[in-house]
Structure formats: structure tokens, C-alpha cells
């Protein structure tokens, strides 16, 4: 009994060692009695002398581009060997032995139709940002009473860019405003903001046989009709006579990075809140009562929703001030402010 068990175990191990694990695609045109097959090449190319067990569609670099190919797998002893040949160079797969009662079966091989699909998501140039800023301010150049912005100033600003990719994939136009205080006086800047992003799209190329790489037409290989391609795919130029059981989909996906740095310019008028001396009139020179800010800087996304921005800003601020040597006469008191700002903006993009 033990001897019988050992013999059965040895037999099972032997059968397991002979189990075919070479290749993954069984040729669908194979007959029941067919085990191995050979191939015939086109033109005057010499036919390989090897026999094969499996056939699978593949691709191959040739002449600087990717072309359709066939991978033939067979065994030599206990080891698998693969042969990859350009599909257009293969004429037939020969099933069965060339000698014997059952004649061999010659199955013609043809390439499949190719389709190109471009996937390009829309550029997300629309955004809304809001956040605080802190800035270092230069010396005060105003007369007494001083328009006294301290060395370190604070404020809050918001930007809204609703135009998407109207100006292209790298430019975005936004409008916004905010508020800050200087010596208890509220200032309300309004600005336009033009942003240029250093975004470089990446292209990812992939190829896929549909429905799979194991599909072959075992009937007539002629005609123009193929299986349905994905929506938006465009057929590439190629031979009119193709294997209609499958297609090769060449897919290109364009992706835009989520963390691209950018630079910007901005500027606009500054309005005043309700404080004494906020109006231009009455004064001896109301035409000089213009207030504005201009600046430029750069930013970088810390995350997709949090941005850090560093900018230079020039501001012209005014205060209607009584004339010291006059009675009931006012003059415009001006301060030209040079500052460096750090903004931390919470961002929503779409």
C-alpha cells in the first residue's frame, strides 16, 4: 500500500513538472488534436524552425515607433522561450503536423485596426482665494499728522478668477479686494490680479488590445469593420485588410500638475473707510487725492488648497490734513509706502 502511494505521488509530481506554464494565450483557431504549431513568414524571410504552444499579441519598437507584433511561446526542455515578430511579417500559423493522416491547417494572420484616443482634462484656471497677509513696511514719508503704518502691517484679501482657460492654460485673470488698518484708519484696496503659472503638462502613453491580446479571427480576415472602439477614439491609417476580432487602442493622457509655482502682477485703487480726513474735499488740492497700489510677486501651492505668496507692493495713501499756518484750509497729506508681503491663501480651484 505504501509502495502504491509513493508511485502515485511520483506520478503526480511528474505530471506537474510537465504542466505547461509557457505563455498565456491559447490560439483560438486550434483544433482538438493540435498541440504544437509552426509559423510561416512573408516574403523571402526564412521561417523559424521552432515549434510553439502559445501566441499573444504584443508591440515592438521598430524604426523609432511602436508597431504591432506577435509573441510566440514554446518550450525547450523545461524552459520557456519567446519569439517576438512584427505582425506584418507573419503570413500563417500552421497547425498540426506536416506528415500524417490529418493535414495541417494554415491560418492566415493579419494586424488589427489601430485607434488613437486623447484624454485631456480641462485646465483648472478658475479659483477663489481668501486669506490674511502680514507685511514689512518701509519708512513713513508723510507730514504731521503721520499716516502711520507701523513697521509690521496686517490685512485680509480675497481673489476671484471665474474665467477658466479664457487666456490660455497658463494665464488666469482675477479680481478681488480686502482691508487693512493704519493707525486705526480702515483702507479698502480693490485690485486686478494677473497670474502666470509655470505649468508643464505631462503626456502618458499606453497601448491596449481590446478585448484582449489573445483574440484572433478564425474566419475570413477581410473587410473594414472592427469591434467597437471607445467613444472619442479616432482610427489611424493602416492596412484595409485587418483582423476584425480585436483592435489596438493607443491612448494618450495629458495631465497637469497640481503644485505648479506661479508669478503675478496686481494693482488697483484704494478706498477709505469712515474716518476723519478720509474725503478729498474740502482741500486746496483735491485733484492730488488719488490712492492706489501696485505690486508683483510669486506663489507656490503648499497643498492643493493652501498657497503661500510673497510679493512687493507700493501703496499711495492720503489723509486730508489741516494747514498749520492757515485757517479752515486743508491739504492732502501723502505717504508713499513700500512693503513686502507674505500672504497665506486658502484656495478653491475648478
Residue pLDDT, tens place only, 223-258: 556 789 999 999 999 888 899 999 999 999 998 887
Give the model confidence (pLDDT) of 23-37 as tens digits: 889 999 988 888 889
Please identify, among 50, 79, 109, the residue that sits at the C-terminal boundary of a domain.
109
Mean residue pLDDT across the chain: 85
What is the value of pTM for the model shown? 0.68
Q: Is residue 92 part of a domain?
A: yes
Q: Is residue 118 part of a domain?
A: no
Q: Do the Cβ atoms of 187 and 272 come closer than 8 Å?
A: yes
User: Is 192 in the same domain as 283?
Assistant: yes
245 closest CA partner among 266, 274, 221, 279? 221
Whether residue 2 is predicted with pLDDT greater than 50 in this model: the reply is: no
Going from the C-alpha of 166 to that of each of 231, 301, 302, the distances in angstroms are 27, 22, 25
**Residue 6, helix vs strand vs coil:** helix
User: Is 322 in the same domain as 186?
Assistant: yes
Q: Is residue 161 part of a domain?
A: yes
User: Is 170 in the same domain as 266?
Assistant: yes
**Residue 305, helix vs strand vs coil:** coil
Phi, psi of 320 (to 5 degrees): -70, 120
CA–CA separation, 326 vs 211, rounded Å? 92
Q: What is the pLDDT of residue 151?
A: 76
**Residue 230: CA atoms inside 13 Å, Cβ hemisphere, count?**
15
Which residue has better confidence, 73 or 125? 73
User: Is 229 in the same domain as 308?
Assistant: no
24 closest CA partner among 82, 107, 63, 67? 82
Please identify, among 109, 144, 178, the residue that sits at the C-terminal boundary of a domain.
109
CA–CA separation, 229 vs 209, rounded Å? 11
Q: Is residue 114 part of a domain?
A: no
Q: What percent of the chain has pLDDT over 70?
A: 86
Going from the C-alpha of 192 to that of each of 126, 263, 292, 337, 338, the distances in angstroms are 14, 14, 12, 19, 19
CA–CA separation, 16 vs 5, rounded Å? 16
Please identify, among 255, 286, 319, the residue that sits at the C-terminal boundary of a domain.
255
User: Is 190 in the same domain as 218?
Assistant: no
What cell numbers appear for 331 in the block? 491739504
CA–CA separation, 148 vs 133, rounded Å? 18
pLDDT band at 101, cuts 50/70/90? low
Q: Do the Cβ atoms of 311 and 290 come closer than 8 Å?
A: no
Q: Is residue 120 part of a domain?
A: no
CATH value at residue 167: 2.40.160.20
Which residue has better confidence, 134 or 329? 134
CA–CA separation, 108 vs 216, rounded Å? 10
Q: Which residues of 267-285 are buried (b: 16+ CB within 10 A; e: fewer)?
A: bbebebeeeebbebeebee
Give the model confidence (pLDDT) of 102-111 as tens digits: 788 999 999 9
User: Is 319 in the same domain as 192?
Assistant: yes
User: Is 146 in the same domain as 187?
Assistant: yes
Give the model confidence (pLDDT) of 139-179 as tens digits: 766 666 667 676 788 999 999 999 988 998 899 999 999 99
CA–CA separation, 299 vs 292, rounded Å? 22
Q: Please give the tally of structural domains in the chain.
A: 3
User: Is 175 in the same domain as 29?
Assistant: no
Q: Is residue 96 part of a domain?
A: yes
Instruction: Determine the structural domain holding residue 213 and report its residue range.
Output: 208-255
User: Is 181 in the same domain as 270?
Assistant: yes
User: Is 183 in the same domain as 282?
Assistant: yes
Q: What is the pLDDT of residue 79?
A: 87
Q: Is residue 122 part of a domain?
A: no
**Residue 114, helix vs strand vs coil:** strand
Which residue has better confidence, 100 or 132? 132
User: Is 266 in the same domain as 216?
Assistant: no
Whether residue 278 is predicted with pLDDT greater than 90 in this model: the reply is: no
Whether residue 266 is predicted with pLDDT greater than 90 in this model: the reply is: yes
Q: What is the pLDDT of residue 148?
A: 61
Helix (H) or strand (E) holding 14: helix 2-18
User: Is 71 in the same domain as 98?
Assistant: yes
Q: Residue 137: which residues within 8 A CB-CB, separation 6 or more? A: 149, 150, 151, 152, 153, 337, 338, 339
Q: Is residue 116 part of a domain?
A: no
What is the rounded (10 degree) CA torsion for 205, 209, 213, 217? -150
For the chain, the maximum distance between any two Cα atoms, rounded to a whole number of angstroms, is: 129
Amino acid at each position: 500500500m505504501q509502495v502504491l502511494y509513493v508511485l502515485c505521488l511520483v506520478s503526480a509530481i511528474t505530471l506537474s513538472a510537465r504542466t505547461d506554464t509557457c505563455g498565456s494565450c491559447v490560439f483560438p483557431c486550434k483544433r482538438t488534436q493540435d498541440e504544437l504549431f509552426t509559423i510561416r513568414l512573408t516574403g523571402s524571410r526564412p521561417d523559424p524552425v521552432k515549434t510553439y504552444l502559445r501566441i499573444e499579441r504584443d508591440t515592438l519598437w521598430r524604426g523609432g515607433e511602436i508597431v504591432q507584433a506577435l509573441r510566440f511561446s514554446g518550450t525547450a526542455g523545461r524552459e520557456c522561450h519567446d519569439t517576438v515578430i512584427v505582425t506584418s511579417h507573419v503570413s500563417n500559423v500552421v497547425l498540426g503536423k506536416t506528415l500524417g493522416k490529418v493535414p495541417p491547417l494554415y491560418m492566415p494572420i493579419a494586424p488589427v485596426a489601430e485607434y488613437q484616443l486623447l484624454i485631456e482634462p480641462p485646465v483648472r484656471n478658475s479659483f477663489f482665494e481668501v486669506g490674511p497677509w502680514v507685511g514689512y513696511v518701509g519708512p513713513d514719508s508723510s507730514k504731521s499728522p503721520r499716516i502711520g503704518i507701523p513697521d509690521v502691517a496686517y490685512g485680509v484679501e480675497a481673489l476671484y478668477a471665474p474665467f477658466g482657460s479664457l487666456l490660455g492654460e497658463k494665464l488666469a485673470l482675477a479680481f478681488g479686494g480686502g482691508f487693512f488698518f493704519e493707525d486705526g484708519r480702515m483702507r479698502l484696496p480693490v485690485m486686478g490680479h494677473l497670474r502666470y503659472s509655470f505649468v508643464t503638462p505631462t503626456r502618458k502613453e499606453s497601448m491596449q488590445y481590446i478585448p484582449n491580446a489573445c483574440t484572433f479571427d478564425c474566419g475570413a480576415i477581410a473587410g473594414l469593420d472592427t469591434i467597437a472602439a471607445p467613444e472619442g477614439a479616432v482610427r489611424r491609417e493602416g492596412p484595409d485588410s485587418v483582423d476584425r476580432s480585436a483592435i489596438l487602442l493607443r491612448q494618450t493622457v495629458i495631465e497637469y500638475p497640481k503644485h505648479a509655482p506661479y508669478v503675478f502682477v496686481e494693482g488697483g485703487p484704494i478706498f477709505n473707510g469712515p474716518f476723519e480726513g478720509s474725503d478729498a474735499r474740502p482741500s486746496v488740492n483735491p485733484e492730488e487725492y488719488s490712492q492706489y497700489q501696485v505690486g508683483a510677486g510669486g506663489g507656490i501651492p503648499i497643498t492643493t488648497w493652501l498657497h503661500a505668496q510673497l510679493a512687493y507692493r507700493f501703496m499711495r495713501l492720503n489723509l486730508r490734513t489741516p494747514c498749520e499756518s492757515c485757517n479752515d484750509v486743508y491739504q492732502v497729506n501723502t505717504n508713499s509706502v513700500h512693503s513686502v508681503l507674505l500672504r497665506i491663501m486658502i484656495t478653491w480651484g475648478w
